[in-house]
């Protein structure tokens, strides 16, 4: 069973073999390393760039406008912040040309904490990404979703940001979630085979990870598995939590969220990014605007601490982002709240 990084690598290989990907590039993504996490190892169209994130994004924009289909990588999302003006230009390209110009590029970058990367390798980028109109934004929580979302991102005619949770890149597929036609496990580390079946996961479609009746818990990326573990524990207390993996931050699946929240009447949003101007705050605002009279408790957000970075030491990293204990406590309080 593949890990998430192997799933990304196989999807990129399908991209260059069958979906028209012409260039895969970024810092150290070419031979022999294939990137910090080896996501591009062995790919025919992979090549290394100078250490220049603005040059990487600018080159991808130019190639896409010239009719190519590039996938560019920023080695860690922590270094994407100095590309914001270019990302805004990329997001505006189709709109500003009144639909005349498409920009078929994928920007992939690892995000979040969990690898003890300290100040320069632990940031999240999801809230910042959702502040840049014109981009589709996806963040998988499993290898299978990483594979399917990457294929959909490659096929899209306009820019897609593929945010890969750093802490999940070595996580293996669960039983029953293997990628169609993937090589057997020992071969995965040594070769890249184009899987037998294409699996396009639509951008903008959430996934219900666990059904429940008492509280809705909405997460994405690394936090999905943590929320599911908390929900499984609460089931022993006869509290049934419905866990939804958003998968796409934009466009996002409001239909799925609305149906679930209307049924459970309580909701918790969980993610790693800093709590101030957090994407979860937008979801809370929309929940209150459209579902106020359905709620039996105030909607809640658990997010990262509003600090300049994530500490290197275990205890500092732990208090910087949501943990299972806090999720358990908040879900329990929501379930027991009397309207």
Q: How many residues are there in the chain? A: 339
Report residue 149 as tokens.
């979302």
Give the whole-angstrom CA distance, residue 63 versus residue 57: 10
Give the whole-angstrom CA distance, residue 75 versus residue 72: 10
Give the whole-angstrom CA distance, residue 140 versus residue 120: 22
Name every residue whose Cβ is closer than 8 Å to that of residue 17 and which is 6 or more positions away in sequence.
194
Identify the active-site residue in 121, 123, 282, 337. 121
Of 45, 30, 26, whose CA–CA distance to 108 is shortest?
Answer: 26
Give the whole-angstrom CA distance, residue 21 versus residue 8: 14
184-221 as b/e: b if 16+ CB within 10 A:
eeeebeeebeebeebbebebbbbbebbebebbbbbbbb
Is residue 116 flagged as an active site residue?
no
Cβ(25)–Cβ(49) below 8 Å:
yes
**E-strand spans in the chain?**
23-26, 46-48, 70-73, 106-111, 136-138, 160-165, 207-210, 215-219, 241-245, 248-250, 267-274, 300-304
Active-site positions read 121
């Amino acid at each position: 069973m593949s890990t998430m990084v192997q799933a990304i690598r196989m999807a990129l290989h399908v991209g260059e073999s069958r979906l028209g990907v012409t260039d895969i590039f970024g810092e150290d993504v070419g031979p022999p390393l294939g990137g910090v996490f080896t996501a591009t190892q062995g790919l025919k169209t992979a090549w290394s760039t100078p250490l220049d994130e603005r040059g990487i994004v600018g080159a991808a924009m130019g190639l896409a406008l010239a009719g190519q289909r590039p996938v560019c990588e920023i080695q860690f999302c922590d270094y994407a912040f100095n590309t914001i003006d270019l990302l805004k230009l990329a997001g505006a390209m189709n709109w500003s040309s009144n639909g005349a110009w498409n920009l078929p590029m994928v920007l992939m970058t690892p995000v979040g904490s969990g690898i003890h990367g300290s100040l320069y390798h632990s940031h999240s980028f999801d809230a910042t990404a959702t502040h840049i109109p014109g981009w589709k934004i996806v963040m998988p929580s499993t290898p299978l979703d990483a594979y399917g979302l990457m294929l959909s991102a490659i096929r899209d005619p306009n820019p897609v940001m593929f945010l890969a949770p750093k802490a999940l890149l070595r996580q293996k597929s669960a039983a029953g979630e293997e990628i169609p036609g993937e090589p057997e496990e020992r071969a995965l580390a040594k070769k890249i085979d184009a899987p037998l079946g294409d699996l396009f996961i639509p951008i903008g479609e959430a996934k219900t990870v666990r059904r429940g009746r008492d509280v809705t818990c909405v997460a994405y990326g690394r936090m999905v598995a943590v929320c599911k573990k908390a929900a499984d524990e609460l089931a022993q207390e006869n509290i049934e939590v419905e866990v939804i993996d958003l998968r796409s931050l934009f466009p996002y699946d409001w239909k799925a969220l609305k149906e679930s929240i209307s049924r459970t009447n309580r909701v918790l949003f969980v993610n790693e990014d800093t709590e101030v101007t957090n994407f979860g705050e937008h979801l809370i605002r929309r929940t209150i605007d459209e579902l106020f009279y359905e709620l039996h408790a105030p909607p809640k957000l658990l997010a990262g601490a509003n600090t300049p970075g994530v500490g290197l030491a275990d205890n500092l990293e732990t208090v910087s982002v949501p943990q299972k204990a806090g999720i358990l406590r908040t879900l329990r309080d929501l379930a027991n709240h009397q309207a």
